[in-house]
Amino acid sequence: MKRKWWHDKVAYQIYPKSFFDSNGDGIGDIPGIISKLDYLKELGVDIVWISPCYPSPMADQGYDISDYYNIHPAFGTLDDMDRLLTEARKKDMYILLDLVVNHCSDEHEWFEKACADPEGKYSNFFYIEDRKEGQLPCNWRSYFGGSVWEPLPGHPDKQYLHLFHKKQPDLNWENPDVREEVYKNINWWLDRGLSGFRIDAIINIKKKLPYKDYASDRADGLCTVDNMLAEARGVGEFLGEMRDRTFGPHEAFSVGEVFNEKDEELPDFIGDNGYFSSMFDFAPVVFGASSKGWYDRKAITPDDYKRCCFHSQKRVGDIGFLSNIIENHDEPRGVSHYIPEGEVSIYSKKMLAVMYFMLKGLPFIYQGQEIGMENMKFSSIDQIDDISTIDEYHVALNAGCTREEALKCISIYSRDNARTPMQWDCTENAGFTSGTPWLSVNPNYREINVKSQLNDPDSLLSFYKKLTALRKNPDYKETIVYGDLIPYLEDQHNLMAYFRKGEKTLLILGNFQTEPQDIPLPGQCKKVLLNNYPETDISENILHLKNYQAVILEL
């Protein structure tokens, strides 16, 4: 594996709408991000990915872009963005934006021009088909519910394809003009001083054509697009071209949102000169998902979590670098997702932090994760903003769930769990805004907030600082960044343990339960590098792990 500038870094995801509001309109903004750069620097963050902040009608919270060359006025101006890039550079920090190019907004001028003249140049920017007697070209279901086909505004005899919301028409990547527009935009940002991109829904850009039906998997007669994506071939030609025309020459960082890639494709995706610098490991994130919907999803156990992580680590081996997460803006809060209900505590939160942070790859922290923000307890569907959650609520009801059952499943999996405002302090609205927040603050902000953790050496925030410091510690960096990952006592129930072997040998262990566990050590412990308890109890080479204890040992 070739060494790259970003390998030893720590990354952080900002969901700008919910991060910090500088002007009291209830919406987080870029000046707000600038004012918190020192906070991130002290946490040990180097790379910051900001979810979309471009002009957008916000049908999908900015993942529906109407202008790729500007900033949404609620978030600030291009000057603010330039200032953010300059300030970040002064602090040796790197800014990534979100590249959302599987689709644009239906309010983007390309789509408006396609509607104005469906025979003109821009109609070929999208997938537009004739609509004879209301017939659909295929029975694919959009990710947010309903058919992927929608009548073309102003032209009821035509219809366009949208794998996501109907306000997110898919861009036709088969058209070289579309690809040129995308590359032009990427280069424009990179030339402006951006360090790279997180790349949204990128596996969706290649469609299996001609359109055809697949077996339906729900009562609506439609089927998930996963069937079609599994059969689509040739996405690599687009991705290789994109790399060669944009990221490659700029030596920019790119991290792909890639689902369902096959083992043999890994070297093409993230090997030396892969399409992307890295891609997220979604194995634990998607565990238990059902094509029927969230209501049918199977909960993940600690053993499942471990198996998912190790499976990904083994398949990627030395090919490249995964990006490791426990949550993002599409997922529940990691501590609520991976720690069994009733066992969420400062100990289990720290244990989970150790477990994922020490995996091989690039660790990403999602805003609020570092203070242990938890899922919201939604008591009514009216508290939900997210389109995907509202769809899943109705999917559950249509499948026969009661309102209580439907509410319970969306409470567990809602994307809004991660989108509630960042909890900065214990004043009203958690110090996120002086106005009315666009989405309710989690009422637990009085207990869980940055201010109360900043000067507490035992807080989760301080613990994350120890983890980032260890990753940068010159004595251990080489091992933590490049050392092999080898599972230890892999089949032991509720234990997650692995070696990182390089210049040094580290053993990372986490007791994923409230009951204590005795673990035989494979060698003499030279040093305890990190522990979520004050003491480490080792006698005669047996490590006695307490309730959710996690330790990093040097052997």
Query: Which parts of 26-65 interact with ligand TEU (CB under 6 A)?
Result: 60, 63
Nearer to ligand TEU, 47 or 553 (CB): 47
Query: Which parts of 158-177 interact with ligand TEU (CB under 6 A)?
Result: 164
The CB-of-185 to Ca ion minimum distance in angstroms stands at 25
For residues 153 and 148, give the distance between their C-alpha atoms in angstroms, rounded to a whole number. 15
For residues 516 and 546, give the distance between their C-alpha atoms in angstroms, rounded to a whole number. 4
Nearer to ligand TEU, 362 or 506 (CB): 362
The CB-of-16 to ligand TEU minimum distance in angstroms stands at 13
The CB-of-272 to Ca ion minimum distance in angstroms stands at 42
Residue 143 interacts with, from Ca ion, ligand TEU, none (CB under 5-8 Å by kind):
ligand TEU
Cβ atoms 374, 442 nearer than 8 A: yes
Residue 415 interacts with, from Ca ion, ligand TEU, none (CB under 5-8 Å by kind):
ligand TEU
The CB-of-548 to Ca ion minimum distance in angstroms stands at 38
Query: DSSP H helical segments within 152-278, as ranges?
Result: 176-191, 226-231, 235-242, 248-250, 266-270
Nearer to Ca ion, 27 or 85 (CB): 27
For residues 278 and 321, give the distance between their C-alpha atoms in angstroms, rounded to a whole number. 6
126 DSSP assignment: B
Interacting residues toward Ca ion by CB under 5 A: 21, 23, 25, 27, 29
Nearer to Ca ion, 23 or 536 (CB): 23
The CB-of-419 to Ca ion minimum distance in angstroms stands at 15
400 torsion bin: left (phi>0), alpha (psi -120 to 50), beta (else): left
Site string for ligand TEU, 94-133 (x = CB under 6 A): ------x---------------------------------
Query: Which parts of 358-397 interact with ligand TEU (CB under 6 A)?
Result: 388
Residue 448 interacts with, from Ca ion, ligand TEU, none (CB under 5-8 Å by kind):
none
Nearest Cα neighbor of 347 from 514, 522, 207 is: 514
Nearer to Ca ion, 25 or 330 (CB): 25
Q: Based on the residue annotation, tell me whether 416 is a catalytic residue of this protein.
A: no
CA 305 → CA 299, 301, 513, distances in Å? 10, 6, 13
* Tokens, residue 232: 């689509």
Asked if residue 415 binds ligand TEU (CB under 6 A), the reply is yes
The CB-of-203 to ligand TEU minimum distance in angstroms stands at 8
Q: Applying CB under 6 A, what is the total number of residues that bind ligand TEU?
A: 12
Cβ atoms 510, 532 nearer than 8 A: no
Looking up tokens 């700029």 gives 250
Q: Which residues contact 209 (CB under 8 A, 6 or more apart)?
A: none
Nearer to ligand TEU, 338 or 445 (CB): 338
* Tokens, residue 85: 């890039």
- Amino acid (1-letter code) at residue 252: A
Nearer to ligand TEU, 43 or 365 (CB): 365
Residue 29 interacts with, from ligand TEU, Ca ion, none (CB under 5-8 Å by kind):
Ca ion
Chosen residue from 21, 200, 281, 370 binding ligand TEU by CB under 6 A: 200
Q: Which residues contact 428 (CB under 8 A, 6 or more apart)?
A: none
Nearer to ligand TEU, 60 or 530 (CB): 60
Q: How many helices (H) and strands (E) does the chain have?
A: 18, 21
The CB-of-90 to ligand TEU minimum distance in angstroms stands at 30
For residues 336 and 420, give the distance between their C-alpha atoms in angstroms, rounded to a whole number. 14
Residue 6 interacts with, from ligand TEU, Ca ion, none (CB under 5-8 Å by kind):
none
Q: Based on the residue annotation, tell me whether 200 is a catalytic residue of this protein.
A: yes
Catalytic residue (one of 200, 281, 327, 370): 200
Cβ atoms 463, 489 nearer than 8 A: no
Nearer to ligand TEU, 143 or 214 (CB): 143
The CB-of-64 to ligand TEU minimum distance in angstroms stands at 7
Site string for ligand TEU, 249-278 (x = CB under 6 A): --------x---------------------
Cα four-point dihedral sign 310, 312, 317, 318: negative
The CB-of-436 to Ca ion minimum distance in angstroms stands at 11
∠ CA 13-19-25, nearest 5°, is 150
Name 147's bridge partners: 141
Catalytic residue (one of 29, 257, 385, 392): 257
CA 424 → CA 49, 98, 212, 217, distances in Å? 19, 24, 50, 44
Chosen residue from 87, 107, 330, 425 binding ligand TEU by CB under 6 A: 330
- Compute φ and ψ for 49, nearest 5 degrees: -95, 125
Nearer to Ca ion, 87 or 261 (CB): 87
Residue 386 interacts with, from Ca ion, ligand TEU, none (CB under 5-8 Å by kind):
none
- Compute φ and ψ for 175, nearest 5 degrees: -85, 115
DSSP string, 43-110: HT--EEEE---SS---TTTTSS-S-TTS--TTT--HHHHHHHHHHHHHTT-EEEEEE--SB--TTSHH
The CB-of-56 to ligand TEU minimum distance in angstroms stands at 11
Residue 106 interacts with, from Ca ion, ligand TEU, none (CB under 5-8 Å by kind):
none
For residues 448 and 423, give the distance between their C-alpha atoms in angstroms, rounded to a whole number. 7
Cβ atoms 265, 249 nearer than 8 A: no
Where are the extended beta strands (E) located within 262-373?
278-280, 321-324, 362-366
Residue 330 interacts with, from ligand TEU, Ca ion, none (CB under 5-8 Å by kind):
ligand TEU
Residue 100 interacts with, from ligand TEU, Ca ion, none (CB under 5-8 Å by kind):
ligand TEU
Cβ atoms 312, 285 nearer than 8 A: no
Residue 27 interacts with, from Ca ion, ligand TEU, none (CB under 5-8 Å by kind):
Ca ion
Report the interface residues with ligand TEU, using CB under 6 A: 60, 63, 100, 143, 164, 200-201, 257, 329-330, 388, 415
Annotated catalytic residues are 200, 257
